[in-house]
Amino acid sequence: MVRNIAFILRLKTLETYKYYLAPTSQIPFCSVPLRLDSYSNCQFGCQYCFSKSRGGAFEVSRAKTIDNGQLKKRLERAQRGTPQGATEEFLQRRIPVQFGGMNDPFGPAEEKKAVSLGTLQTLAAYDYPTLLSTKGTLAQNGDYLATLKAGNFYVRISIAAIDENLSPCLEPGVPSIQERLQFGELLAAAGIPVSLRLQPIIPGYERSAEKLIELAANCGFRHVSAEYLKLPLESNGHSFRKLEETLPDLKHFYVENGAKRVGREFVLPAELKKVRLIALQKMAENFGLVFGFAENELLLRNDFSACCNASDLFLRGANFFDFNILGIIRQQLKSNEIVFKVSDDAWLPKKSIFSHLNSKSRVHSNQEDQRAGWTNLLREKWNSGAWRGGPVSFDGVHDTGSLDAQGNKVFRYSSALDSDEGSSEKLAINL
Ligand code: SF4
């Protein structure tokens, strides 16, 4: 009997997803850097997705799942003011979690396991501000909908901007575009804020993006964010081979248009994306939607506080994280000069966040003083080039070539637009 219980406990441990909640490595510039996932891998099969090739797999049987009891304990400690570790300090601060940050919470496994439902109910019990990202439509039913209504949720429905006929090839297993829009309409009618996440936009299909924005506005969505495809370099992977079959000219387009290799992806130049995204912004705003630039380089174009998602506009009692490069620049956007200036009031967890960064940044984890260590890390980025996430990696920020009294670089910001930037004639490009 005792052996049986030990066996069951061991099995449960093996099935439990340990890393379900963590700050992401984007903390140096993201204002909502907390990711939450109920499954360790995604059961959809989007051809452009990096999630599977970088640690995930979409077989339902291999998915580990969150222990919602553990999440409850962490939220409880945060609420009581006794957080353990930096992640719980973020919770205490009520920085929104991005539920579905890596893997979709509403894949086929959820129909049997209802694990994500438990996660939603746990978050709702604490009225925890939550951004929920999904391509699934399961949450339109019974308990899911009731929980979404009761809690503090803002739902982002992701759709790739592409020809409707190609969508089933590109996003196999995912509900159709029409089903996703209907899901959003149902949520909006229930009073839940809904966003259209145009992610990714496939270059050449900007007209599809326009059409989706119009449909979303008609369905009661309140926000749209947009980001171009970052072309994965893992061309050996199964889904990336399929991507080449679906869009055979795509790689050629990226090469021809000066895409740069960033990490394991090809990224289109900011100038090329900007002009087209500004056109989409104008259109979205004409329909009464808030528009968010989701490209890292264009984040300064967002005039709300929370990154591209505008969660500060749609969630109750939500904070955002601004002790980072983007936060320092934002506070000085109207100044002539932008200098490295850290406010004494800037909030930072007391416990270490360095283990959540990439290995290059982790060398700082030896710093005894967390605040000084973090400031040093930001200062290094500040004085580096664009490739390390320094200020010039953001569109509109220019290095003046001078240094301040502490020897840190001085920058200038100019958001001036060319007169025809964002005009619809510039929108259409052909593959
Ligand atoms: S739903 Fe999201 S996480 Fe899942 S395969 Fe598609 S893009 Fe990747």
Q: Determine whether the shortest distance from the Cβ of 104 to ligand 1 is under 6 A.
A: yes
Residue to mutate, 46, 116, 156, 183, ligand 1, most ligand atoms under 8 Å from C-beta: 46
Give the side-chain half-sphere CA count within 13 A for 353. 28
H or E element at residue 153:
strand 153-161
156-205 pLDDT tens trace:
999 999 888 899 999 999 999 999 999 999 999 999 999 999 999 999 99
Residue 373 to residue 370: CA distance in whole angstroms: 5
| 8-state DSSP, 412 | E
Question: What's the pLDDT at 152?
Answer: 98
Ligand 1: centre distance to CA 110 (Å): 15
Higher confidence at residue 239 or residue 67? 67
Q: In sequence order, what are the residues at sequence separation of 6 or more whose Cβ sits closer than 8 angstroms to the Cβ of residue 160?
A: 46, 48, 167, 170, 171, 198, 199, 200, 201, 202
Distance 407 CA to ligand 1 centre (A): 44
The angle formed by the CA atoms of residues 369, 372 and 378, to the nearest 5 degrees, is 140
Residue 57 confidence class, pLDDT cut points 50, 70, 90 = very low
The larger pLDDT score, comparing residue 211 to residue 243, is at 211
Tell me the per-residue pLDDT of 358-401, one tens digit each, with 9 for 90 and over.
Answer: 655 554 545 568 899 999 999 999 998 776 779 999 999 999 99
Q: Is 95 exposed, middle or buried (0-12, 13-18, 19+ CB in 10 A)?
A: buried
- Measure Cα distances from 420 to 276, 278, 423, 425, 426 in Å: 11, 11, 6, 9, 9
Half-sphere exposure of residue 72, counting CA atoms within 13 Å on the CB side?
10
User: Ligand 1 centroid vs 51 CA: distance in angstroms?
Assistant: 7
C-beta 427 within 6 A of ligand 1: no
Atom of ligand 1 nearest to the CA of 102: 3
pLDDT at 402: 96
311-361, pLDDT tens digit by residue? 889 999 999 999 999 999 999 998 999 999 998 899 999 988 877 666 555
The pLDDT-based confidence of 11 (bands split at 50, 70, 90) is low
CA of 366 to the centre of ligand 1 (A): 36
What pLDDT does residue 303 have?
85
DSSP 8-state code for residue 287? T
Query: 214 or 311, which is more confident?
Result: 214
Q: Which domains does the chain have, with CATH numbers?
A: 15-314 (3.20.20.70), 325-413 (no CATH)
Q: What is the pLDDT of residue 425?
A: 47
**DSSP letters for 266-279:** EE--HHHHHHHHHH
| Span from the CA of 402 to the centroid of ligand 1 (angstroms) | 44
Name the token pair of 209: 């993006």
Lowest pLDDT segment from 32-41, 114-123, 242-251, 291-300: 242-251
Nearest to 71 by CA among 116, 40, 109, 10: 116
DSSP 207: H
- Band (pLDDT 50/70/90 cuts) for residue 49 is confident
What are 334's two structure tokens? 């109207």
What value does the mean pLDDT take over residues 246-252? 91
Nearest atom within ligand 1 for CA of residue 56: 3
For residue 133, which atom of ligand 1 is closest to its CA? 2
pLDDT of residue 430: 41
pLDDT tens for 122-136 read 999 999 999 999 999
In the chain, what percentage of residues exceed pLDDT 70?
Answer: 85
Indicate the residue type of 339: V
Q: What is the pLDDT of residue 280?
A: 97
Q: Is 47 in the pocket of ligand 1 (CB under 6 A)?
A: no
Confidence at residue 294, expressed as pLDDT on a 0 to 100 scale: 95
Closest C-alpha to ligand 1, atom 7: 49
Alpha carbons 127 and 155: distance in angstroms, whole number:
15
Pairing of strands 397-403, 97-99: unpaired
Mean pLDDT of the 219-246 span: 85
CA of 17 to the centre of ligand 1 (A): 18
Single out the residue of 319, 343, 72 nearest to residue 307, CA to CA: 319
Relative to the CA of 45, which ligand 1 atom is closest? 5
Would the pTM count as exceeding 0.85?
Answer: yes
The confidence band for 141, taking pLDDT boundaries of 50, 70 and 90, is confident
pLDDT at 234: 66
Residue environment code for 318-357, b if the CB has 16+ CB neighbours within 10 A, otherwise e:
bbbbbbbbbbbbbeeeeeeebbbeeeeebebbeebbbebb
**What's the rounded mean pLDDT across residues 87-102?**
96
The answer, yes or no, to whether residue 61 has pLDDT greater than 60, is: no
Task: Return the residue matching tokens 């002009």.
Answer: 275
Task: For ligand 1, say whether the CB of 135 is within 6 Å of any of its atoms.
Answer: yes
SS (H, E, C) 295-361: CHHHHHHCCCCCCCCCHHHHCCCCCCCCCCHHHHHHCCCCCCCECCCCCCCCCCCCCCCHHHCCHHH
Q: Is 170 in the pocket of ligand 1 (CB under 6 A)?
A: no
Asked if the model's pLDDT at residue 238 lies above 70, the reply is: no
Report CA(35)–ligand 1 centroid distance (Å).
Answer: 15
Kindly state the average pLDDT of the residues 279-291: 97
> Is the distance from the beta carbon of residue 103 to the nearest atom of ligand 1 less than 6 Å?
yes
Q: What is the dihedral angle through the alpha carbons of 212, 209, 295, 228, rounded to the nearest 10 degrees?
A: 130
Average pLDDT, integer, range 33-38: 96
Q: What pLDDT was estimated at residue 269?
A: 94
Specify the residue for token string 């409707």. 164
